[in-house]
């Protein structure tokens, strides 16, 4: 197992992570592919991975009917328009409530 510390010269907090040899090899392979250092690659992977996890959670909550469009967008940290694109791309059934439509009309009026 290998331990990497993620930090930057600009007073960013440091986080340590333990990687298996396979994960370490994959990290180094991707860093080489992108022609970046490991820290930069880790930060990019973390940013993209966290965004994907947010969207996945929002999709699950939306599909189960636990949240509507506006809340799913908030969970995914995207605009309602972006959420509708995500829902279309994933073939989700759009669950517009009257409140969702009224909220979107009000938001449009404010613009």
Q: What pLDDT band is residue 13 in, cutting at 50, 70 and 90?
A: confident
* pLDDT tens sequence across 56-68: 999 999 998 888 8
Q: DSSP 3-state assignment of 4?
A: strand
Q: What pLDDT band is residue 3 in, cutting at 50, 70 and 90?
A: low
What is the tally of structural domains in the chain?
A: 1
Query: What is the domain extent for residue 61?
Result: 2-110
Q: How far lies 5's CA from each of 13, 31, 38, 64, in Å?
A: 10, 15, 10, 38
55-61 contact pairs (CB < 8 A, 24+)? 55/86, 58/83, 58/86, 59/86, 59/90, 59/92
* Confidence check: pLDDT of 24 > 80: yes
């Amino acid at each position: 197992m290998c331990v990497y510390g993620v930090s930057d010269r600009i007073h960013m907090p440091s986080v340590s992570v333990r990687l298996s040899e396979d994960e370490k090899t994959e990290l180094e392979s991707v860093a080489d592919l992108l022609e970046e250092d490991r820290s930069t690659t880790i930060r990019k992977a973390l940013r993209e991975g966290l965004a994907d996890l947010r969207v996945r959670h929002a999709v699950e909550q939306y599909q189960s009917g636990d949240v509507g469009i506006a809340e799913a967008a908030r969970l995914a940290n995207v605009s309602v328009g972006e959420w509708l694109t995500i829902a279309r791309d994933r073939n989700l059934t759009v669950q517009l409530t009257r409140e969702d439509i009224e909220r979107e009309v009000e938001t449009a009026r404010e613009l």
